[in-house]
Each structure stands twice: as C-alpha cells, then as structure tokens.
C-alpha cells in the first residue's frame, strides 16, 4: 500500500505541476494582453479550495486532478457589461487570441527547458558508454564495433554517458539510414564507424534499441546483495532484508546483481522460489515480482536496491554530464529540441502506421512512471516531468478542435479569409474534436489496462 500511495502522490504532483504551468501560460499572456480572467482552475469538478482576488479573478483547486482551465470574459459564453467589452477575449485582434491560446503549449516547452537546466546544473551521473559485447551478424558487428569500445560521439553529439548515447542513437535511428559514431578502442585510439540501419525493424516503443543494434553495454559485476528494501513492495512482503545475498532463483544460480535484475524483470507476476544467504545460513523465500509496463512489454519489479558498498571501484567507469549555469541553459534548450523532434517523429510513425498503437499510454502508465522516477530521485523525476511536459505541449498543438491546436487552426483560417468561421462550422468541429479525443482516451486506457492485466 505505501508503494501504491507514493505512486498516486507522485502522479498528482506531476499532473498538478504540468497543468498549472500550461494554464498559467494562457492566464499570464491573457492578462498581459488586456483580457479579463474570470477563473483559474487546477483540476475539474467540485472545488476543494477557492479564493477571489481583488481584481475579480477566482482561483480554484478542484477535486479531479486530470486537467485545468482558464475561463476568460467572452461574449459567446454570456452577457458582458458594456464597460468590459474591451476586455472580452472575442473582441481582441486575432493575433492576440493566437498568442493567448499558444501560450499554454509554449509554457510547457519552457518548463521542459527549466527542468533540463536544473538537471544539467545538478549533474547526471552515469556509466560511460562502454560496449560490453557485440552480437555477430548485427549492424554493430558489420560496422566494426568491438567489446571494450567507448562511444564518444553520435551524429556530432558528445555522449559522455549511456543515457546521452541512447538518446542520440534513438534520434539518429528515426532517419532510417545510417548513424555515424566516433568510438575509442581499448587502446585509446579513436575511429569513425557507421551503423547501417536500412531495413532494420527497430523497437522504438520498447525504450531501448541497443539489442536491435547488437550492442550489449558493459556492466560491472556487483554481488547480488540487497542494500535497501522499499516499504510495501514485493521484496519486503517476501521477507527480504538488507544484507541478504541472493544465491539462486527457481534452482538457477544467480551470478551477480545484473543476473538477478534480469531474472526478476523476465518474471513479472510470477512466484519465484528464492534462496538467500543471511547471517551465514541459507533461507528459502517465495517472491512475486510486481508487473509494471515498459513500452509494449511487462517487466518484473520487487522494490529493492543493490548494496553498492560491495561494488568494485566504479569511479573510473562513471561520467558526470553537467554544465555551468549559462552553458546548462543552452544544453537544456538543445535537449528540449531533441526530445520534441523525437516525439514528433514517433508521432508521425504512429499516424503512418509504422509504429504500433499499443505504444499510446494513458494515466495509469504515466502514474507508474511518475512513482518509479520519484522513488529513484530528484533528477529522474525532473527528467520525467520534462518529457511529459513536452508531450503535453505537442498534444495540445495538434490541429484537433477542442484542443489548443484546433483553436489555432480556426484563427489561422480567420487570418486567411478575413472573418471568423461560422458558429455552425465551429460547433461541428468541436463535436468532431470530442469524438477524436474520446477515442484517443479509450485507446490509451485500453492499452493501460492491457499492460496492467497482462
């Protein structure tokens, strides 16, 4: 239960922050352009808290934390006193209305830049992108990659950690041609190699394309000793304690922590007979890993961390990706652009049928990722918020009536034809938008429940 509650809390915090940022964009620009704001609400439904400011704007926190809205003075929604007509949204020039509507998504992108800026100032510590093994007959083998190589640069982008390398490789793979890498061999000599991706079906939704490329990252061999157990998670429920050494699972020896993680991930929702060593004695336990969604597949998770005091000296295999504040701002803008273009390319593949609709996720999957990243630490949670904020900004810019992008489409048509669309056309568009949005939500919930129930 504590794990479930922490997931719900992380989800509410994430959605609350991102919705507030989005709606504040509309609110702030509307006020700057002279539009009277009647209500700023985070959430829908029954008010939990409300306050009216001296200027007449009502600020509200509502019970359903899955969205929000900014209500502006508008003749289409009720009678407007003559003295306030100049402050009505519908009376503003079309350029002002475009700015107000576009401000929500723009603030989502700005928030992503802020989140990445904080991440790059704090610093992201990760393993250097060292190749552990290259599988024969794969693009990596054909390109001439070898075990022990370090990937220094991908398509002109420096890759100090595996996280940076994976992002650059994924972005480069969407072109479908070849990816140029600069690698350093175990002797320190650098060389250029080209990964040929022509005709290679890459698992974009799975979150990791390294297996498809034939690359197995180098991993340190760490003894399978429990260092920390998360309260309420399967590890604690099974009786695992810090200091326990995992000896075997279902009769199979566990060589190290990586082997243990792989075995757990491969058995979501399955009872495992685990033998551990505790205080010099062997003990048999029954453990059932939780099933969590990762892309289109389910993986096991038990809520336990490795005892890093048993690890070999990792400092020489680690790298920190950080920047001074001003450089961090530029790096954050570049990362936001990269993630935006990556999301758009994946979205394009969805619309053209080159990516599976099973990759569409809804609130349940988002909540799971929110809980997972929040438990890991501040930097992963900030990275999660940045990615979801970018997705929210892109989603709202789609030219679908009822979304911000639909309204922007109306205003662009108005700019071209010199007059607004008729009320009938707008109402028809709204109904179409509701149907499309409900269909998308139904698909997202269906995928969520399919992953949850296996």
In sequence order, the 6+-apart residues with CB closer than 8 A to the CB of 310 are 222, 223, 225
Tokens representing residue 55 in the block: 């200027």
In sequence order, the 6+-apart residues with CB closer than 8 A to the CB of 344 are 394
Tokens representing residue 203 in the block: 């698992």
Instruction: Please pick, among 23, 150, 294, 298, the residue that the annotation labels catalytic.
Output: 23
C-alpha–C-alpha distance, residues 56 and 54, integer Å: 5
In sequence order, the 6+-apart residues with CB closer than 8 A to the CB of 294 are 206, 207
Q: Quick check: 234 and 287 in contact, CB under 8 A?
A: yes
Closest listed residue to residue 108, CA positions, set 407, 392, 400: 392
298 annotated active-site: no
The rounded radius of gyration (Å) of the Cα atoms in the chain is 26
C-alpha–C-alpha distance, residues 104 and 75, integer Å: 22
C-alpha–C-alpha distance, residues 152 and 156, integer Å: 10
C-alpha 10 chain-centroid distance: 14
Neighbours of 51 (CB within 10 A): 9
In sequence order, the 6+-apart residues with CB closer than 8 A to the CB of 231 are 2, 3
Residues forming the active site: 23
């Amino acid at each position: 239960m504590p794990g479930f509650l922490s997931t719900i809390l992380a989800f509410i915090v994430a959605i609350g922050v991102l919705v507030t940022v989005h709606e504040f964009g509309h609110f702030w620009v509307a006020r700057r352009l002279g539009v009277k704001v009647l209500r700023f609400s985070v959430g829908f439904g029954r008010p939990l808290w409300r306050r009216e400011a001296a200027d007449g704007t009502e600020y509200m926190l509502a019970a359903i934390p899955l969205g929000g809205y900014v209500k502006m003075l508008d003749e289409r929604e009720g009678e407007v006193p003559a003295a306030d007509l100049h402050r009505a949204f519908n009376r503003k020039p079309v350029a002002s209305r475009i700015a107000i509507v576009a401000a929500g998504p723009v603030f989502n992108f700005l928030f992503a830049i802020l989140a990445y800026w904080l991440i790059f100032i704090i610093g992201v510590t990760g393993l250097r992108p060292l190749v552990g093994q290259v599988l024969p007959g794969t693009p990596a083998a054909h390109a001439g990659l070898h075990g022990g190589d370090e990937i220094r640069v991908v398509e002109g982008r420096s890759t100090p950690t595996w996280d940076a390398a994976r992002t650059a490789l994924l972005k480069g793979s969407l072109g479908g041609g070849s990816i140029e890498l600069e690698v350093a061999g175990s002797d320190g000599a650098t060389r250029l190699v080209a990964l040929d991706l022509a005709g290679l079906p890459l698992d974009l939704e799975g979150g990791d394309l390294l297996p498809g490329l034939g690359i197995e990252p180098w991993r340190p061999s760490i003894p399978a000793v429990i260092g920390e157990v998360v309260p309420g998670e399967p590890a604690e429920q099974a009786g695992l304690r810090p200091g326990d050494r995992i000896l075997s699972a279902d009769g199979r020896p566990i060589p190290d922590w990586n082997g243990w993680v792989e075995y757990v991930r491969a058995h979501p929702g399955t009872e495992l007979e685990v033998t551990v060593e505790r205080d010099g004695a062997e003990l048999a336990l029954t453990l059932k890993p939780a099933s969590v969604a990762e892309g289109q597949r389910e993986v096991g998770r038990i809520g336990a961390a490795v005892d890093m005091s048993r690890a070999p000296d990792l400092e020489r295999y680690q790298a920190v990706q950080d920047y001074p504040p001003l450089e961090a701002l530029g790096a954050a803008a570049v990362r936001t652009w990269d993630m935006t273009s990556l999301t758009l390319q994946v979205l394009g593949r969805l619309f053209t049928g080159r990516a599976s609709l099973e990759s569409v996720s809804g609130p349940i999957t988002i909540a799971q990722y929110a809980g997972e990243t929040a438990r890991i630490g501040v930097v992963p949670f900030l990275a999660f918020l940045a990615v979801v904020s970018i997705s929210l900004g892109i989603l709202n810019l789609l030219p679908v009536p009822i979304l911000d992008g639909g309204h922007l489409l109306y205003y662009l048509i108005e700019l071209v034809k010199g007059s607004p669309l008729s009320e009938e056309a707008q109402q028809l568009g709204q109904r179409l938008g509701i149907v499309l949005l409900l269909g998308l939500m139904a698909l997202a919930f269906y995928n969520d429940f399919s992953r949850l129930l296996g």
